[in-house]
Amino acid sequence: MASIRQTKSAESSLFRVGYVVNPIADLVWYLGLPLVALAFALACQQWLTAMAITSIALLFNAPHNFVTLLRTYGLEEDRHRFRDQLIVGLVLISAFTVVGMKWAPLTILLLSVLWNHQHNLMQLHGFARIYDHKARAGTPMTPRWDLTLNWVLYVNMLLTAQLFANFWIRELYRFDLPISAEAVRVLQTASWCVTAGFVGVYSIHVFNSVRNGFAVNPLKFVFLFTNYAVLYIASWNTTSILIHSIANNIMHGLQYIVIVYVYMQRKVEHSSQDDGWIRSIVRPGNVKAFVAVCLLYTVVVQLIARRPLEEFGFGAISFTSRYDAIPEHQLAGVSLAGGYELFALLVMNVPGLLHLYYDSFIWKVRDTKIQQGL
């Protein structure tokens, strides 16, 4: 009997379960939500018009950006800790955005898209770190392995999914750097080989970790698999960047909003500082007030965005005239509908640059002050 108990104890010590929030919240927001996001996005593609799709994409994009501002400026402790970064970032990014929208809109769009994807993979990595931190799992090298895994999986998607390949192929041609169809095929094949090889090596790392007595949190792997499965399926089953944006923003955006709410609630509960109205909207049992504030901001953004999109571009932005057909890759020139999508994405992404900048330093999991809220 003693040996049986020891065996069970050893087994349980190898698999430790920890949650970002709690079992029910994690099941809903971090494990189940990605599947709902995928189904909803594909339904939008099947039944909705381009204008409705744009509005829905904005609906899920706006509150995601807003809660970053709420979390950064709403907590007195963070305002004081990051005062210099907040001021410098606000001034420089605002000036950069205004000048860029006027003189180099395509460059701004490309920057915003690439930065968004880097931000997305870092959020996935961040949640993976929280899962390990809560379960006291992983080796000292596991964070680097996890980060590399996220980079490999994300870059492979950007290189191999036709949805994204269309964009970087067009950009290469626009900068007089043509790439042959054969070169694209070789690059994509190499990307898949590297990805498969690294996943194999990563699996060996996990196996060796367990063999050496380090625990693993199985929920971390379920989380990563589910989220990347949705991203990959959405990339291969749509030609619309806005449909992919809807799937990603439902998944990425709502997961982010949940962790911001939980973080602010815990920080306010353990803070002696007077955080004013922020304390009232994040206190336990008052989630409706938090949601109402987010929805109010979204409504304001929607009302502003009802103006003709061309007004945001100062009448100088035209995607259809800059992307010609590329017969070698069987790519037609960008249509009016395609140009509208790109322009809509530009209008939605550019205001989020400040959100991307702030998130680069306000969510360092290794920071002990941040750990208190997580």
pLDDT tens per residue, range 333-349: 555 565 566 666 666 66
Checking 166-172 for CB contacts under 8 A at 24+ apart, the result is 166/239, 166/331, 167/113, 167/241, 169/326, 169/329, 169/331, 170/323, 170/326, 170/331, 170/334, 171/110
The answer to whether 171 and 52 have CB atoms below 8 angstroms apart is no
Cα dihedral 14, 252, 254, 227 sign:
negative
* Summary mean pLDDT of the chain: 80
Q: Which pLDDT belongs to residue 310? A: 45
Question: Which band of pLDDT confidence, cut at 50, 70 and 90, is reported for residue 28?
Answer: very high
Q: What's the residue count for the chain?
A: 374
Phi, psi of 326 (to 5 degrees): -125, 90
pLDDT tens per residue, range 241-264: 888 888 988 998 889 888 888 888
Q: Which pLDDT belongs to residue 315? A: 41
Out of 17-31, 47-61, 139-153, 310-324, pick the least confident. 310-324
Q: What is the pTM of this model?
A: 0.79
Q: Which pLDDT belongs to residue 281? A: 81
Residue 298 has pLDDT above 80, yes or no: no
pLDDT tens per residue, range 105-134: 666 777 777 888 888 899 999 999 999 999
Domains in the chain: boundaries: 20-373
**Three-state secondary-structure class, residue 66:** helix
